Every structure is written in C-alpha cells, then in structure tokens.
C-alpha cells in the first residue's frame, strides 16, 4: 500500500472519528438521568424513558467500541502494520478497508 492510499485511509478514519464525536454530543441528552414526572402519563412514560435511556447508552457503547478500533487502525498506520492481516500477514484488500478501515483480518481469515 502506497503513501497516497495511507493518506486516503487516514482521512477516512479521521472523518469517521469526527462523526462519532458529533453523534456523542447528540446522544448525551438521551443518557441523562430519567426524572420522575408525576404530570406525565405515569408508569408507562417512565418505562419508555428508561428504555430510551438504555438504548442511548448501548448506542454510546457501540460508538466507543468503533472509536477504539479506528484509533487502533491509526496506530497500526504509524507502526507500518496497517493493511496487513493480523492472522496470516497477507495484505487486506483495499475494498475491504474502504468498507471498514479498522479491519484487522483479510476476508479469508475473517471467514475462517
């Protein structure tokens, strides 16, 4: 993989990290403590709010996991290991990396 391809993937990863940061800011309100509102419909309103809060926290956890994978990909770039399968050492197809720049395995090893 040449320098231009590395630069393209670095930009792709940077853009996705920025998107995750923006999504985090939008999702903060959904994770806030659920207040008991006696004026609302009642138990079902609180249950719905708690469910929304749980879903917001799960989404945040998924974003955090993706962020860690992308940051690891950036470290692999810095170490010269980006784009190589961690299992067999072969080069990961650029198309696979375009879909998931944090991929650590080639298609064969990922399926095997």
pLDDT digit string (tens) for 29-71?
A: 555 555 555 555 555 577 777 788 888 889 889 999 999 999 9
C-alpha to C-alpha distance for 11 and 32, rounded to whole angstroms: 32
C-alpha to C-alpha distance for 45 and 59, rounded to whole angstroms: 21
Q: Which residue range forms the structural domain that includes residue 34?
A: 3-111
Whether the model clears a pTM of 0.85, i.e. scores above it, the answer is no
CATH code for position 71: 1.20.120.910
pLDDT band at 72 (very low <50, low <70, confident <90, very high): very high
C-alpha to C-alpha distance for 67 and 35, rounded to whole angstroms: 30
Domain count within the chain: 1
């Amino acid at each position: 993989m040449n320098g231009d391809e590395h630069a393209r993937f670095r930009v792709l990863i940077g853009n996705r990290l920025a998107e995750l940061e923006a999504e985090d800011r939008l999702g903060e309100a959904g994770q806030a403590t659920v207040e008991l509102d006696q004026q609302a419909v009642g138990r079902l309103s609180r249950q719905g709010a708690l469910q929304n809060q749980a879903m917001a926290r799960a989404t945040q956890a998924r974003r955090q996991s993706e962020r860690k994978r992308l940051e690891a990909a950036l470290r692999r770039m810095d170490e010269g290991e980006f784009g190589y399968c961690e299992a067999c050492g072969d080069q990961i197809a650029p198309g696979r990396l375009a879909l998931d720049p944090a991929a650590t395995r080639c298609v064969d090893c990922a399926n095997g």
